[in-house]
Amino acid sequence: MSQAVGPADASGERREQIVHALTVHFAADRLGTEELERRLDVVHGARTAAELETALDGLPALESAREPARTLAPRTERPPAPVERQQRRYAVAVMSGADRHGHWVPGEHNLAVAVMGGVSLDFREAHLPPGVTEVTVFALMGGCDIVVPPWVRVEAGGFALMGGFDTAETEPPAEADAPTLRINGLAIMGGVEISVRLPGESARDAKRRRKAERQELADRQRRLPRGG
């Protein structure tokens, strides 16, 4: 029996509701990583309302379409590493958009292609193992936004021709086994932007948080005893 959390249609809003429901079930340990990936493939490949609803088969109903994921780990903790993952994954947008976010498993090597379109890769709730995960970006008159959490080490470098390849300055994670994202690529009349934010945090919230952290650090330094 499928779960009903809203109007049975194949609209973008309905797809978002089902993706949200699947992430709640994943966080509650009702789904494993492989099963989550399979159901997300069903969501993105569905062409009719009936096909879309099969992504929720066998799952209990949520209280509402937007029930918060109360069982998620604290937002400042890194998600568990995947048991296994694909060698290669792709995100391609040609005069369109491609989005990877939520609880997803990146490949060992990831290729993002944006040709007069946009690609968004959000690693904040991605399941990354220790070691290096590679991301190669090609943007031609398009853009690629990459969002990473503070607990991921970033090694970024790229080339831009009549465009931009902007990287964020980040503090290295304290954990010795922290995952590493190695990002490189080419932007031609396009742009690549890498930013650091916590899960659920907007760009404005991240800016405020970093400002507060700098202020707190400065206050602690002022309170330290001065040497004679």
pLDDT in tens, the chain (228 residues): 444 444 344 567 787 788 878 877 776 777 777 788 788 888 888 888 888 888 888 888 775 444 444 433 335 677 888 878 899 999 999 999 999 998 899 999 999 999 999 999 999 999 999 999 999 999 999 999 999 998 999 999 899 999 898 876 667 777 888 899 999 999 999 999 999 888 888 888 878 877 777 777 777 776 666 654
Tokens of 75: 């937002």
In this prediction, residue 127 carries a pLDDT of 93
If one counts the domains in the chain, the total is: 2
Looking at the structure, tell me whether residues 132 and 196 fall in a common domain: yes
Looking at the structure, tell me whether residues 137 and 184 fall in a common domain: yes
Looking at the structure, tell me whether residues 65 and 92 fall in a common domain: no
Torsion of CA 200, 108, 193, 38, to 10 degrees: -50
With respect to residue 97, please indicate whether it lies within any of the assigned structural domains: yes
Residue finishing a domain among 24, 44, 72: 72
With respect to residue 159, please indicate whether it lies within any of the assigned structural domains: yes
Looking at the structure, tell me whether residues 11 and 105 fall in a common domain: no
With respect to residue 127, please indicate whether it lies within any of the assigned structural domains: yes
Determine whether 171 is exposed, middle or buried from the number of CB atoms within 10 Å of its CB (0-12, 13-18, 19+).
Answer: exposed
Looking at the structure, tell me whether residues 61 and 151 fall in a common domain: no
Nearest of 16, 25, 6 to residue 44 by alpha carbon: 16
In this prediction, residue 66 carries a pLDDT of 45
Looking at the structure, tell me whether residues 4 and 65 fall in a common domain: yes
Looking at the structure, tell me whether residues 56 and 118 fall in a common domain: no
With respect to residue 79, please indicate whether it lies within any of the assigned structural domains: no
Q: Measured between alpha carbons, how far is 77 from 120 in angstroms, rounded to an integer?
A: 22
Looking at the structure, tell me whether residues 101 and 18 fall in a common domain: no
Cα atoms in the 13 Å half-sphere on the side-chain side of 192: 25
Looking at the structure, tell me whether residues 101 and 174 fall in a common domain: yes
With respect to residue 220, please indicate whether it lies within any of the assigned structural domains: no
In this prediction, residue 193 carries a pLDDT of 93
With respect to residue 151, please indicate whether it lies within any of the assigned structural domains: yes
In this prediction, residue 72 carries a pLDDT of 37
Neighbours of 22 (CB within 10 A): 23
Residue finishing a domain among 46, 72, 98: 72
Looking at the structure, tell me whether residues 146 and 96 fall in a common domain: yes
Where helices occur in the chain by DSSP H, the ranges are 12-27, 33-45, 49-53, 203-223
Looking at the structure, tell me whether residues 152 and 112 fall in a common domain: yes
In this prediction, residue 74 carries a pLDDT of 35
What pairs with residue 161 in β-bridges? 188
In this prediction, residue 169 carries a pLDDT of 63
Domain that holds residue 53: 1-72
Looking at the structure, tell me whether residues 200 and 113 fall in a common domain: yes
With respect to residue 21, please indicate whether it lies within any of the assigned structural domains: yes
With respect to residue 34, please indicate whether it lies within any of the assigned structural domains: yes
In this prediction, residue 93 carries a pLDDT of 92
